[in-house]
Structure 1
Amino acid sequence: MKIFLCFISLFLLTGCWDRNELTDVGIVVGMAIDKDPDTGDFILTSQYLRPAAESTQTPTPDRPYLMVSTTGKTISEVMRKANQTIDRRSFFAHNKVIIISEDAAREGLIQIIDTFQRGKEVRGYVWFSIAKDIGAKELLEIKANNIARVPANFLNDLFDNTEHNATAINLLTYYKKTLGAGINPVVSVLTREETDIEPFELLKLSGSAVFKEDKLVGFLDESETRGYNWITEEGPPSNRGAIYLPSLLQEDKFVTILLKEINSKIIPKVENGDQISFTIEVDQKASLIGQEATVELKNRKQITQYLNQIQGEGEKEIEKEIKKAIGKAQQDFQSDIFGFGEALNKEYPKVWNKEKDNWAETFAEVPYTVNVHLNIRSSGLIQGPFKPQE
C-alpha cells in the first residue's frame, strides 16, 4: 500500500507542463493596430516590457519597453510574426490596452476581435480604444504627461481614472454589444492634442466612436458623449464628473455641480399596434461643490430657492446634451447606440420581431421624450457663498 501511495504522489508533485517561464517570454503590455494604406495589410505594433530596466535593485539605463511592428494579412499572422523578430516568445495575457486606427475600424472589428476571442491569447477585459486623426502606433509611443514610465501603463491608468466615461469599454463588452440585438457599440477615442508649452503634445481621451453593427461610422464630441452617458449610465456609487452652470447670482460667474449616483431608463411605448415612441427618464443626484459668485444668501429660504433654480438650469443642460446625442445618432449615423431597440425587444417582443430587420431606418425617425430630474442633495453653501469682508 505504501508503495502504491508513493507511486501516485509522483504524479501529484509534477510541475505544470505548459507553464511559461518569465525568462522565456516577452510580456506585451500594449498593442496598436493600423492598416497599410498601400497594401491593406494589418500592422501590429506590440509594446514589450524590459524587466531589467524597471528593476528596483539594479535597473539598467535602457528604455523600459520595446516597440516591435509586424505586417500581415490577418491578425493571427502578425501576432505570430512578432516571435520571429525578438528573442522571446510573445506573451499577450498581460496586455492592458489595444488601440485601433480609424481606417481599420471603418472596415470592421469582428475580424480583429474574433482572433483574440478564439485564440484566448488576449484577455477579454483589456481596454479598447479608437485612434482619431493619428496612427494607432503613434499614440502608443507618446510619452507626454506620463508619470508611469511605460506608455501602456499610462494608458491603462488613464482609462481607470477618467470620470463619467461610459464609453471606456473592454473587448468583451464590445463583442457582446456587437452580437446583441437592438443596440450598437460606442467606443472611447484617443487622440493627440498639440500645445504651446512643454511637452508640446498631449494624449487624451476625447469623445467617442460610433459603430453601426461592426463598422465605425463616425464620432461624437465631448458634449454629445456626455449626452450618450446620461442615457446609458446607471447606478451608484463613484463620482461621474462635473458640469458647470451659470451662477445666476453674478454675470460671468459659474457654479460647479459634482455628479453622483444616476439611474436612467428607456421606456418604450407602442400605440395602435405600430406607433413606437420612447421616454427617457434620467434621475441624477449631485452636489454643489463650487461657487464663484460672492453674493450673500441671507437665509435658508433664499438658499432653497437658489438651489431649485440651479437644479432647473442643470436639468435644461442635461436635456440639451441628451437631445444633441440622439440627434447625431439618428440623423448622421442611423445607429441605435442607446439601446432603444433592446428596450423595445424586452417590452414588446412581437413588435420588435416585425421591426428588427429595418430597425436602423425606424430608429432614425422614432419620436422620444426626455424627462430629467436633477437632485442637488448637498449644497456646501451653509450660509451662502463666501464674500470678502470690507
Structure 2
Amino acid sequence: MLTKNTFIVLLLLASVLLTGCWDQWELRDLSVVTGLAIDKGENDEFILTMQVINPSEIAAQEEGSGFTAAQNYETRASSIQEGFRKLTQQAPRRGYFSHIAALIISEEVASEGLSNFLDHFYRDHEIRSDFFLLIARGESASDILSLLPPIEELTSVNLKHSLLYSENSYTAVKGVTLDDLFEDLAARGIDPVMEGVSTSGDVATGKSIENRESVKPSAYLYVGHSGFFKADRFVGWLDEDEVKGYNYVMSENQDTPETLSCPDDGTFVLETQSIEPNISVHSGNSPKINIDIKIHSTLSEMNCEGIDVEKKESKQLMEGIMNDKVEALVNIAIQKSKEERVDIFGLGREVYRQKPRLWEELKSEWYTHLAEIPVHVNVNTEVVGSGDVNNTFNVRDYIDDD
C-alpha cells in the first residue's frame, strides 16, 4: 500500500507530464506571415506589407474556390515591432512570423542602412533566421510582393524556391539569408551583397488572379542582378557578368553552365561540377593578394568545327578558354569593387585572418589600400567528362554535296 508521502511524490511527477506551453496559440487564432516588404514612408516611417496565408484556400486548393492563397496587409509604423502589432488592426488574428520565406527591401530603405530595421529580426525569438532577403530593383517592395506568380501559390515562397534552385544552377544568382547577412555585417573586412528582384511584363495584370489562370502569364518575378553595400548601406548594382565573377570566388555553385566561344566559329558549353576558390595574402615589401580557383566541369554542349573531343589537345584547349573566361569575369568584378570602394570579396577579412599585423596597419584606410593592392586571379579548369557521347553527331557529314 502506498504511503502518503509516496503518493504525493507520484502526483507531483505526473503533474510535470500534464503541463503545457505557456504561450500556446491555436492555429485558428494565428495569421501566418510568409512574406514581408519594407518601403520608405513619410516622417521616418516604414511602410510594411505582410503576406498572410489564407488557410481556407490552402486547405481547399483542389476545389478551386477562385480566391487567392494569401492576402497582403499594409501598415505604416516607426518601428518593425509596432508595424507587426498593427497587423491586428486589419487581420482578425495574431501575427505569427516563424514561417517567413522572403523579406523584400526597397532601394530607398536599403540606402539608408539595414541596421535601421534589422535589429528586431535578430532579437525576436519567434522569427527564424533562414529566410531570404532581396532588394526591389527599380520599384517598390510592395509591388513585388503583390504580384501573383503563375506556379507557386505564394509570392514569398516563389521567391524562396527561385533562389534555392537558381543559386545552385546558375552563377549569376546567389541567395542571402538573414544568417548570411548577419555574418557579413559582423565580420571585419567584408561588405554584403544581396540578390535583386524585379517584375517583368504587365504588373497591373500580374497582381490579379488572371495572371495565374493564363497559359502565358502577363507578368513574372525576375531574380537577377545583385546589390552591393558599404557596411549596411546599399550602394549600387552588379550586372550579370560582375555577379558571375563575384560568385566564382564567393560561392561553390554546382551544375552551372558557362557558354564559351570556339577558336574559329560557334560555341561550346562547360557545366561546372565544383568550384574551389582560395584567397591567399602575401605581405613582403608590398602586399598582394592571389585568388586561385579550381574548377571541375563536364562538356555539356559542343558546336565547334574541327574539335575532336577525344583528343587531349582539344580538352586542354577547352580548359584554357574556360580559364580565360572566368579570369576575365572575376577581374571585372574586382575592378568594380575597387572603383566603388567596397570589399565584396572579403579581401580585408582574409588579410585580418592571415596577416593580422598587416591588417592593423591597413584597416583605418582599408578602402584606399584596397584600390591599390594588386589582386592576381588564376583559374585552373579540369574537364572531367563529356556526357553520354564524345564527338557530336553531325548530319552534314553524311550528305553528298553532289
TM-score scaled by structure 2? Answer: 0.89
1:157 aligns with 2:175: no
1:259 aligns with 2:269: no
1:233 aligns with 2:251: yes
State the match for 1:325 in structure 2.
333
1:386 deviation in Å? Answer: 1.3
1:181-220 maps to which residues of 2 (within 5 A)?
A: 181-194=188-201, 198-220=216-238
String of CA shifts for 1:6-63, please: whole Å, max 9, x gaps: 2331232122121121011000000001102x43410110000011101157664321
State the match for 2:287 in structure 1.
276
Distance 1:52 1:130, change over 3 A: same
String of CA shifts for 1:89-141, please: whole Å, max 9, x gaps: 00001111100000000000012111111123321111111111011111112
Residues 277 and 368 in structure 1, CA contact (< 8 A), matched pair in contact too: yes
1:318 deviation in Å? Answer: 0.4
Residues 296 and 387 in structure 1, CA contact (< 8 A), matched pair in contact too: no
Paired with 1:306 and 1:216, the residues of 2 have a C-alpha distance of: 45
State the match for 1:355 in structure 2.
362
Q: Secondary structure at the match of 2:226?
A: strand
Q: Aligned Cα RMSD in Å?
A: 2.1
Count of residue pairs the alignment pairs up: 377
1:166 deviation in Å? Answer: 6.3
Paired with 1:84 and 1:353, the residues of 2 have a C-alpha distance of: 52
Residues 269 and 277 in structure 1, CA contact (< 8 A), matched pair in contact too: yes
Of 282, 298, 301 in structure 2, the residue corresponding to residue 287 of structure 1 is: 298
Residues 307 and 379 in structure 1, CA contact (< 8 A), matched pair in contact too: no
Gaps of 5+ in 1: none
Paired with 2:81 and 2:255, the residues of 1 have a C-alpha distance of: 38
Residues 172 and 225 in structure 2, CA contact (< 8 A), matched pair in contact too: no
Residues 341 and 352 in structure 1, CA contact (< 8 A), matched pair in contact too: yes
String of CA shifts for 1:153-188, please: whole Å, max 9, x gaps: 211111111123663110121012111101111111
1:383 deviation in Å? Answer: 4.5
Q: Secondary structure at the match of 1:29?
A: strand
Gaps of 5+ in 2: 1-5, 203-214
1:345 aligns with 2:352: yes
Residues 242 and 256 in structure 1, CA contact (< 8 A), matched pair in contact too: yes
User: Which moves more between the two structures, 358-367 or 56-65?
Assistant: 56-65
1:262 deviation in Å? Answer: 0.9
Distance 1:383 1:329, change over 3 A: closer
Letter aligned with residue 364 of structure 2: D
Q: Percent identity?
A: 27
Of 27, 35, 47 in structure 2, the residue corresponding to residue 43 of structure 1 is: 47
Q: Secondary structure at the match of 1:314?
A: helix
Residues 52 and 59 in structure 1, CA contact (< 8 A), matched pair in contact too: no
Paired with 1:67 and 1:150, the residues of 2 have a C-alpha distance of: 11
1:65 deviation in Å? Answer: 0.4
Q: Secondary structure at the match of 1:210?
A: strand
State the match for 2:179 in structure 1.
172
Q: Secondary structure at the match of 2:22?
A: coil
Letter aligned with residue 151 of structure 1: T
